[in-house]
Amino acid sequence: MSDGNVHDQVVRRLRAEELRYTPGRRAIVDVLDAAERPLTVPEILARSEPRSVPLSSAYRNLTALVEAGVAHRVAGTDDHGRYELAEDLAGHHHHLLCDSCGVVIDIATSPRLERALAEAGRVAGEEAGFEVTGHRIDLLGRCQACSA
């Protein structure tokens, strides 16, 4: 969950794209802000209060939020897209992806591991003649429920 000024930042980003912060967009941002992991569209709709965001509007609003840099689509191991707040709004983290059920789980890493990942990225970029400016790590496996 982000700090209290997420809505101010969202307003600024949407205005920069000449978009309004509609009640539907605000409901989606509230759900994503409270979520502990990336959510599918049906999960977002089920958690929105009041449940007044129609399915067709949810997809249009999510597209606008992604384009404005407010939300990020997370690719999973299944056919379902999942969404979360952009990293600069929600904080840096990585993902565990279950290759059985498709769930995506957020994980924070230690500073030591972050330094190692940054160094690995720097080396990979250097070898490819590419300037690495960040990283996202998705680890594949089986969630606790699927492992049982």
Q: Where do the domains of the chain lie? A: 1-91, 92-148
The CATH number given to 92-148 is: 3.30.1490.190
The Cα 57–Cα 45 span in angstroms is: 10
Reported as a single tens digit per residue, the pLDDT across 78-123 is: 888 899 999 999 999 999 999 999 999 999 889 998 999 999 999 9
pLDDT value of position 34: 95
- Topology match between the domains 1-91 and 92-148: no
Largest CA distance in the chain: 51
pLDDT value of position 50: 65
The CATH number given to 1-91 is: 1.10.10.10
Which stretches within 68-110 are classed as H helix? 87-90
Q: Which residues, 6+ apart, have CB-to-CB distance to 121 below 8 Å?
A: 132, 134, 135
Q: Characterize the bridge pairing of strands 104-107 and 94-98.
A: antiparallel
pTM score: 0.83
Contact at 8 Å (CB) between 2 and 89? Answer: yes
Reported as a single tens digit per residue, the pLDDT across 8-59 is: 999 999 999 999 999 999 999 999 999 999 999 999 999 987 666 888 899 9
